[in-house]
Structure 1
Amino acid sequence: MSTLNIVGAGHVGRTLGRLFAARGVFAVQDVHTRSLASASAAVAFIGAGTPVDGAARPADVWMLAVADDAIAGVAAALAQATPMAGATVFHCSGAKASGELEALRHAGAFVASVHPVRSFADPAAVAAAFDGTFCGVEGDADALDVLLPAFETIGARPVRIDPAAKTVYHAAAVFASNYLVTVMDAALRAYEAAGIPPDVARELARPLATETLANVLRLGPEAALSGPIARGDAATVARQHAAVTAWDAPTGALYDALAAATWDLARRKRAGQG
Structure 2
Amino acid sequence: MAPTLNIVGAGHVGRVLGRLFAQSGVFEVQDVLTRSSASAQDAVRFIGAGRAVAAPRELRAAQVWMLAVGDDQIAPVCAALAQQGLFGQAVVFHCSGAKAASELQAAERKGARTASVHPVRSFADPDAVAAAFGGTWCGIEGEPDALALLTRAFEAIGARLVPIDAPAKTVYHAASVFASNYLVTVLDAALRAYQAAGVPEQVARELARPLASETLANVFRLGPEAALSGPVARGDMATVARQQAALASWDEPTAELYQALVAATSDLARRKRERG
SS in 2 for 1:4: strand
Instruction: State how far apart, in whole Å, the 2-side matches of 1:269 and 1:111 are.
Output: 43
Contact 2:85 2:110 in 1 (8 A): no
Residue number in structure 2 paired with 1:235: 238
Residue by residue, what CA displacement relative to the aligned partner does 1:65-121 show, whole Å, maximum 9, x if unpaired?
111111111100111102423210001111211111111111111111111111222
TM-score, normalising length from structure 2? 0.94
After superposition, the Cα gap between the structure-2 partners of 1:201 and 1:36, relative to the gap in structure 1 and judged at 3 Å, is: closer
Contact 1:55 1:81 in 2 (8 A): no
Residue by residue, what CA displacement relative to the aligned partner does 1:124-157 show, whole Å, maximum 9, x if unpaired?
2221111111111111111101101100001111
Which stretches in structure 1 are left out of the alignment for 5+ residues? none
Deviation at 1:38?
2.3
Does residue 67 (structure 1) correspond to residue 77 (structure 2)? The answer is no
- Paired residue type of 2:247: V
Instruction: State how far apart, in whole Å, the 1-side matches of 2:246 and 2:164 are.
Output: 42
Contact 1:244 1:252 in 2 (8 A): yes
Deviation at 1:227?
1.2
Residue number in structure 1 paired with 2:194: 191
Instruction: State how far apart, in whole Å, the 2-side matches of 1:114 and 1:231 are.
Output: 42
Contact 2:97 2:173 in 1 (8 A): yes
Map 1:201-240 onto structure 2 (within 5 A): 201-240=204-243
Deviation at 1:236?
1.6
Instruction: State how far apart, in whole Å, the 1-side matches of 2:117 and 2:265 are.
Output: 33
SS in 2 for 1:145: helix
Residue number in structure 2 paired with 1:262: 265
Residue by residue, what CA displacement relative to the aligned partner does 1:43-79 show, whole Å, maximum 9, x if unpaired?
2222222222333111111001111111111100111
After superposition, the Cα gap between the structure-2 partners of 1:200 and 1:33, relative to the gap in structure 1 and judged at 3 Å, is: closer
Residue by residue, what CA displacement relative to the aligned partner does 1:218-246 show, whole Å, maximum 9, x if unpaired?
11100000111111112221222122222
Moved over 3 A (4+): none
Does residue 112 (structure 1) correspond to residue 115 (structure 2)? The answer is yes
Map 1:1-274 onto structure 2 (within 5 A): 1-53=2-54, 54-273=57-276
Instruction: State how far apart, in whole Å, the 1-side matches of 2:3 and 2:53 are.
Output: 19
SS in 1 for 2:151: helix
Worse-superposed segment, 125-134 or 103-112:
125-134
- Paired residue type of 2:183: L
Percent identical pairs in the alignment equals 72
Contact 1:65 1:92 in 2 (8 A): yes
SS in 2 for 1:155: coil
